[in-house]
Amino acid sequence: MGRCYIPQLMKYLCIAMLGVFILDHVPMIRSASELLYFNKGLILEGQVWRLVTFIFLPPSGSYLWILLNLYFYFFIGSALENAWGSRRFNLYYLIGIVGNIIAGMITGFATNAYLNLSLTLAFAVLYPDMQFTLFFILPVKAKWIGLAWGAYLLYQLAVVPWAWKVALLFSLLPFVLFHGKDALLQCKLWLRHVRFWINTRKK
């Protein structure tokens, strides 16, 4: 990528998502999200900014939920950037964006939700034993959060409409390219530990 990368990319993405969320809730102002979401028909009519601006759409939910989500994205994105370097992190996200654009031009739908979730999977592979405090009470290691999100994405793949399935698969493309082999090895190791634990319980 040469010098064409943005240091602290996740920080700026989170600030942009927070800004869009605030504008969406300001009275007398047209919803910012309506101007940014991916729409194939409008793109073909000339609103080409929608090819990229869908990545600034915030997750849905209450004010507290949005803040917790954005803080989580920022924390994980910063950790991945520290581990990979800014260029590689930018490349990861760029592959996900391009994948969603391709998916959107095929199906008419693209989203940043699955791409941001894929960062959690990458984090779980790199830092499996890092501990989070879930709901400020329950300590949970990153590997179990990664497994939970992985199971959730498999569930989504089974139940969501086909346009969402395509977006999900393309969103996971950078994770597969960067950490697919490592994730498979981690899953095999975790399953081996589970089998060992079950066998010891039987004895």
Per-residue confidence (pLDDT) for residue 126, from 0 to 100: 87
β-bridge partners, 141:
131
Query: pTM of the prediction?
Result: 0.83
- What is the pLDDT, as a whole number, of residue 87? 92
How much is the average pLDDT of 168-195? 76
Mean local confidence (pLDDT), 120-129:
87
DSSP 27: T
Q: What is the mean pLDDT of residues 80-95?
A: 93
Half-sphere exposure in the Cβ direction for 9 (13 Å, CA): 23
Segment of 58-62, 94-98, 138-142 carrying the highest mean pLDDT: 94-98
Separation of alpha carbons 125 and 179, rounded Å:
7
Average pLDDT over residues 91-95: 94
Given CATH 1.20.1540.10, say whether it is the number of domain 9-202.
yes
User: Checking DSSP bridges between strand 131-134 and strand 138-141, what pairing results, if any?
Assistant: antiparallel
Q: What is the mean pLDDT of residues 185-201?
A: 66
At residue 114 the predicted structure's pLDDT band, cuts being 50, 70 and 90, is very high
How does 52-88 read in b/e, with b if 16+ C-beta sit within 10 Å?
Answer: ebbbbbbbeeeeeebeebbebbbebbbbbbeebeebe
Quick count: other Cβ atoms within 10 Å of Cβ 36?
20
Return mean pLDDT, the chain: 85
Higher per-residue confidence, 167 vs 135? 167
For residues 62 and 21, the model is more confident at 21
pLDDT score, position 189: 67
Q: What is the pLDDT of residues 146-157, one digit of tens each?
A: 888 888 888 888
Predicted local confidence at residue 75, as pLDDT = 92
Q: Please report, for the chain, the start and end positions of each structural domain, with discontinuous segments joined by +.
A: 9-202
> With b meaning 16 or more CB within 10 Å and e meaning fewer, what string describes 142-170?
bbebbbebbeebeeeeeeeeebbbbbbeb
